[in-house]
A and B are shown apart, each in its own frame.
Chain A
Amino acid sequence: MTLARFRPSKGTLALGALSALAFVVAVMRYAFGLRAISNLSDGYPWGFWISFDLLCGVALAAGAFTTASVVYIFDLKRFNPLLRPAILTGFLGYLMVIVALLVDLGRPERIWHLIIFWNPESVMFEVGWCVMLYTAVLALEFSSVVFEKFGWRRLSALHRYVTPALVILGTLLSTLHQSSLGSLFLAAPTKVQPLWFSPWLPVFFFLSAVAVGPAIVIVESFISARVLQRGLETELVGELARAIPLALGAYLILKVFDLTTAGEWGSAFQGSTGALFWLEIIGGVILPLGLFALPSVRRSDARLFGAALLVIGGVVLNRFDVSLIGWARPAETWYFPHWMELAMTAGIVAGGVMVFGLVARYLPLFTPSHAAEPAE
């Protein structure tokens, strides 16, 4: 470590090592096939990557569209300081989803086929187009940071002009994408546990994404305040958190309505899936709903952070329950992620964190975007 200009911290070195390991795993996967690095099988065609990297990854990228719509659709410009990091988190989240898909897809070199071969009957068709279009929208939304860094005034002015339209488009695509991930499982009514299968799956996925969006912004602000030694805008973050009980409340009401009309309350008191259901509903919905409704929680950094983690934990558990844990397994099949599946995910996330750190260091990430100025 004699280099004067580049001296990575221990944290950066660890992240770099994780990414390097994931790169080796990816090479093995491309050379020898998915079985070489995963426990995926014909009984479990989707595993940890789909549950975590795709379903949780997209849900946890929801901070971008929720914050952007607060600032540009509800015109609450005071939340502007939170916007750029939220968009970056969402953008990197989507890039990580795409990287994970390039590992998980059987034929990643054909991912572009979704552009030329259409099946509008397929939910996956909608998912594919949403990933593609919304990633592009996030890149455009984020581009203002680059324009500002290099002082490209005319591009910045153009960006300012189109941003409201871009945010509406992004919110629309996010609504479609978040809900369509739930709709994916509508095609498997006999395979998803009755506690989680519902014709309302797309609405559940959307509502939980709206709830987890501000929670991610809280966590991301909290961590970057610590790591980058900035002050946390507690007041502002706490105010944003007021949206969470609304979304969680709507989710809870719909869940009660759905289980009652489906007559499935009995399954909630059976076996380990019933226990998981209550863990998700009490720990991830009811408890944070109550906590975020308390002003004392919204005024404290640590309590905000803790309550946000509950929401995130609830959503992660829900996505796993729908797609993996509550999955009807064919006889004699079994799945637990291979350590290399986990290493792949860890490496992708580490890469995302490193890029976030680089952007925070070299680009004007924490200055409020131009929206604070009059748009007209």
Chain B
Amino acid sequence: MLAALLMAGLVCAGPAGGADKTDLAKKQNSLNAEYSLAKDSTFYFVLDILGRKLELRVRGMVLRTWPFQSMRFWGRPELSGNVELVRKSTLKAPERIVIKPGGEAEKIEAAPMAAAKPTGTSAAPSNAAEFDLEALELKDMPKKFSLDFDNGLHILIKAKTRASGGFLGSMREGWRWHIGLPLRNLFGPQTGKGLSELELTFDNDKDAQAIYWHFFEGIKGIIL
């Protein structure tokens, strides 16, 4: 009985030991990659594919975590190593409000907002979140946008709840993912540029918007 247990232990210990070594090698790689970023005072991100989360960090501290609900990809996305965000793009980027001297305000954003100067009086609405301000806030950020990285990786970030322009929007999105990207993946490599497309879907609108807010062009990160 004891011999059988020992044998079972040895059989189990073999693969487990191998897995431990693989984990250790992964840990060493990720720690090396993170330390090179964390020793500076700049913010960086960690995209943990298997852990299904995107994190904003500084000095090794996790500032924000955004778990993603689902992911899918086409091509050969580079899902490991250090990357740098070179471009953040969206169909309709939020624009700043420009105020000219003398109180003349020019709203550049497409959706007009009612001006509300801070008054601090009882005339103000009971809930400050109720009215629009002449400001660029989290709610003004897009819920769908793409991030282009220096290694050619293209990540599309979107919120699950996003109303994607109705039926036409869904059709366009379906065509892009199910027809356009497979064909680009097939014919792309001949032009010397392989497709590297990753799509991350987040549960909440605010998660996608916060990522747009916090990710700036030039931010470095690690993909685990």
A and B are interacting partners = no
Q: Please list the residues of chain B having a beta carbon within 8 angstroms of any beta carbon in chain A.
A: none
